[in-house]
Amino acid sequence: RFSLLLLDLEEYYFEQHTAYHVMSSSKKEKIRGSFKVCSRSIIFDPEDLDEPILKGAKKITFELEVWNKTEDVVQTLLQLHRASCLDKLGDQTAMIAANLQSRLARSSFDKNFQSVAEKPHMECPVEMVLPLVSNPGHVCITDENLYFQPLNGYPEHVIQIKLHRVRRIYKRRHGLRPLGLEVFCTENDFCSDIYLKFYNTADRDEIYYYIATFLNHVTEHTAESYMLQWQRGHLSNYQYLLHLNNLADRSCNDLSQYPVFPWVIADYSSSQLMTNAATFRDLSKPVGALNKERLDRLLARYRGMPEPRFLYGSHYSSPGYVLFYLVRVPEHMLCLQNGRYDHADRMFNIGETWKNCLEGATDFKELIPEFYGQDSSFLENRQSLDLGQKQNGSLVGDVVLPPWASDASDFLQKHKAALESQYVSEHLHEWIDLVFGFKQRGSEAVAAQNFHPLTYEGGIDCDIEDTDQRIAMLTQILEFGQTPKQLFTSPHPQRITPRFQNITRSPSINSPVSDMSPSPSEDSSFEDLTEESRKLAWTNMGSLKVVSSHKIHKAVTGIAVTRDGAAIFSTSQSTLKMFSKELKDFQRSMSFSNMALSSCLMLADGKTVVCSSWDNNYFYSVPYGRRQDTLMGHDDAVSDMCWFDDRLYTASWDSTIKVWQCASDSSSSHKRSQFELLAELEHDAGQVNTVALNPAGTLLVSGCKDGTVTIWDTGSYGTLQQVHCHNGTIHHVSFSPSRHVLSVGADSCMKVTDVQTGMVISSVKAEEEQCFCWDGNSVLCGGQSGDLLLWDLLSNTVTQRIPAHSMWMSELCTTVITGGEDRQIIFWKLQS
């Protein structure tokens, strides 16, 4: 029966009265119903469901059931009639808006719906936003609930949301203005519990921050934190795209900013959907650039245009496109097209729509989330609607599916599997660059043939004084579509995918769609088992327990362990000490110079310990128990070092890293090591304070005194990335098992940098300067407090605080040795 969708665009439903529709002049034949006053029309909704709803008839006679309301209703109708008689649309809109504001000012929230114990915080006039319509009323927020009370009492007298149930809130731009607020009580749904449009930004922000105070139980996520979860496989492609849409102001309640999803399949004609690369759409290009011949024609037209020029005559997401896909869920489409369906030959069918997106001169649309969901109703004509007859005589019914789909549910299942496939996982970041990222606007967008004038946030002046011009401009933009809010300004990192069959390199593979989801390769090596052991260890890292502790130093600055774990070497001031795990006491002590030792490491032979000092590098022979060699390679203190195969990397405060190749001198009875300088990596950023290698030894990362992280290629010794990400000295850097770098500095911030793009994708404010070990998700930190802190980088929280401080971890991550200013080295073991 009655729905707000019966209203015209930008029309408001003000009030309703019980009344009788008088059918004849004798006034004996009457129909009881609801007389509804709207800003541009009157609507009569009969109680008898066999009678039709009346709207905007030229001459209708009504009798109000409550007679003393007649004069008020007549005055309201006269005001609205005067507004409709104005010549300019802008003047009409302004007069109706004034009438609405007057009604809101004369009314207030009915506090009878509140509990007596509740403490109100504020209330203000708002509009509840629904697809294609808005419903004015009042919002009231207390210490327990958020209430919305519609001015007209429709669809219910009050909507209540308990604050402790809220999981996510988002500020929204509505009509290109920062006036919206959307509230979710679920974590992963893309439809919210309520979407409110405020009349000024200050009121919106006041309620936003008040609700935020109740969300201590909820982790606040950013685009970067969601990116990290997605990269590590903790979010599916579908979930990640939903989160990005939410952060970019896309909402299922606003059809002009509906969530946008990509076409991923390019084959809608085969009888079986294969997993070869030709099955998939090229995600590095916008829809308009997928067909080169069409793109060439568009570019030729563009070059010959006067200003303002445009490449595409339509957007990839607009209200018309959303409703085009949802035509078999009919209410919204009938509203948009004045109660009539589109021509039968233009009705949505999948194969024809994809073909038109490739070849049509004005069709460049992407998809919506429903194509990757579980509800197939939008693909089926379940209500047996009369959608017309095509020119070939066939009736329009259910969506015509591709041959590889047995039914609508099978289509959605295979479509979802394609979205989560290996190919899409490896290339989805390219599409994100186009829609949410650095190729969305500017010179990068032009180079990617991906620009849409007048659709960008901040691209037009919404405060045009001329009301008619402003309404015309906004109407054009809202109907044409809006580009999502830009979330990334640098290239989006690729997803980290495990060792699965890589279809991008095997275009001849023809396995069915059921094999589309990634599956591990059959050859499980020992390395895989070792990796599983590490993962298991990190899962249980919170169960570390002290095995023993020993005071052997003034303050520990570095730790190294022999391959069999029997001997532990530690440095402090100018002394290297060896501790026997079996005897539980230190056995040897060696002083190299009067200069402090900054770090130590065990070489691959398991027989040599290298100590870095403020003057030299010293090599200690474990079997012979004495200094074996000295390497004088820098003009200032050696701050840190690392080793891979036969190469030693030494970092210094002289702003360089030096790369040395080691070869044993066979003529020497003690096999002294000979070092050849291979490269010198100079840093513009100043003193190099820390250095580390990735597990494969192909990448080197350095951290400098000015807060700059530099990533180097160890093959070419060229700079890959240089990122200034800390305020002050960087104390420690380390690679994850994949392609992220974690750094911690004097600013007490832990920052994760993506090696591929140089983007800082996560930043956590820690409690103090720290050293750490990490697996890419969790960080075990030691700091000046003497505690071990276990951080979860995905939620940016400390999940475990272990009263404990330089740190060493075994290869299988089951043993940890710490040392600190309390003069102790402490042994830790995971508890089974």
> For residue range 539-553, what is the model confidence (pLDDT) as tens digits?
666 666 777 777 766
Mean pLDDT (whole number) for 649-673: 75
Residue range(s) in the chain whose domain bears CATH number 2.130.10.10 = 556-663+673-776+806-813
pTM of the full structure: 0.71
**95-109, 241-255, 587-601, 807-821: which has the highest mean pLDDT?**
241-255
- C-alpha angle 776/738/546, rounded to 5°? 40
**Three-class SS string for 131-183?**
CCEEEEEEEEEECCEEEEEECCCCCCCCEEEEHHHCCEEEEEEECCEEEEEEE
State how far the alpha carbon of 620 is from the alpha carbons of 588, 627, 672, in Å. Answer: 12, 4, 11
Contact 801, 787 (CB under 8 A): yes
**339-348, 429-438, 654-663, 750-759: which has the highest mean pLDDT?**
429-438
* CATH of span 4-103: 2.30.29
**Separation CA 143–CA 118 (nearest Å):** 6
What pLDDT shows up at residue 831?
Answer: 67
What proportions of the chain, in percent to the nearest 5, are helix, strand and coil?
Answer: 25, 30, 45
* CATH of span 556-663+673-776+806-813: 2.130.10.10
Tokens of 819: 């040392």
Mean pLDDT (whole number) for 628-652: 86
**Separation CA 140–CA 196 (nearest Å):** 12
Closest listed residue to residue 586, CA positions, set 569, 599, 601, 564: 569
Long-range contacts of 703-708 (CB under 8 A, 24+ apart): 703/729, 703/730, 703/731, 703/732, 703/733, 703/743, 703/745, 704/655, 704/729, 704/730, 705/653, 705/729, 705/730, 707/745, 707/747, 708/683
At the fourth CATH level, which superfamily is domain 277-480?
A: BEACH domain (1.10.1540.10)
The one-letter amino acid code at 446 reads V
Contact 448, 295 (CB under 8 A): no
What pLDDT shows up at residue 123?
Answer: 94
Q: Where are the beta strands (DSSP E) in 564-698?
A: 567-572, 575-580, 585-591, 597-602, 608-613, 617-621, 626-631, 638-644, 647-652, 656-664, 673-682, 688-693
**Separation CA 574–CA 440 (nearest Å):** 56
Mean pLDDT (whole number) for 253-280: 91
Q: How confident is the model at residue 339 (pLDDT cuts 50, 70, 90)?
A: low
More confident residue, 595 or 342: 595
What pLDDT shows up at residue 523?
Answer: 32
Mean pLDDT (whole number) for 573-583: 80
Name the CATH architecture for the domain at 107-220: Roll (2.30)
What pLDDT shows up at residue 112?
Answer: 82
More confident residue, 559 or 830: 559
The SS3 of residue 448 is coil
Residue range(s) in the chain whose domain bears CATH number 1.10.1540.10 = 277-480
The one-letter amino acid code at 770 reads Q
The Cβ of residue 136 has, within 10 Å, a number of other Cβ atoms equal to 22
**Separation CA 620–CA 618 (nearest Å):** 7
Mean pLDDT (whole number) for 301-318: 88
Residue range(s) in the chain whose domain bears CATH number 2.30.29.30 = 107-220
pLDDT at 181 over 50: yes
Mean pLDDT (whole number) for 100-108: 88
**Separation CA 448–CA 442 (nearest Å):** 10
What pLDDT shows up at residue 255?
Answer: 86
